[in-house]
Amino acid sequence: MSKDKRKFDLEERLIDFAVRIIRTAETLPKTKIGNHIAGQLIRPPIMAKLKVQNLLLILSIR
């Protein structure tokens, strides 16, 4: 598998993971605790995607 294909695959997989987490979080009850847990679930996969994007950008500049 080429580097470009692996890079694309990782980015796509992170997006798919984030979407699944967001959909799961949306099913939680709309209570104070449910909203808090939803926020805790949503942050990590979105941040992972952004960190991978930044890392790939840095590596492509070198």
The single-letter code of the amino acid at 14 is: L
pLDDT > 90 in the chain, percent: 37
Q: Which residue has the tokens 């987490």?
A: 21
Proportion of the chain above pLDDT 70, given as a percent: 85
The C-alpha atoms of residue 28 and residue 56 are separated, in whole angstroms, by 34
DSSP state of 47: H
pTM over 0.85: no
- Of 42, 61, 56, nearest to 12 by C-alpha is 56
User: Scanning the structure block, which residue is given the tokens 């080429």?
Assistant: 2
φ, ψ at 4 (rounded to 5°): -65, -40
Q: Which one has a higher pLDDT value, 42 or 7?
A: 42
The predicted structure's pLDDT at residue 5:
62
Q: Which residue has the higher pLDDT, 15 or 38?
A: 38
Predicted pLDDT of residue 1: 55
Whether the CB-CB separation of 25 and 42 falls below 8 Å is answered with: yes
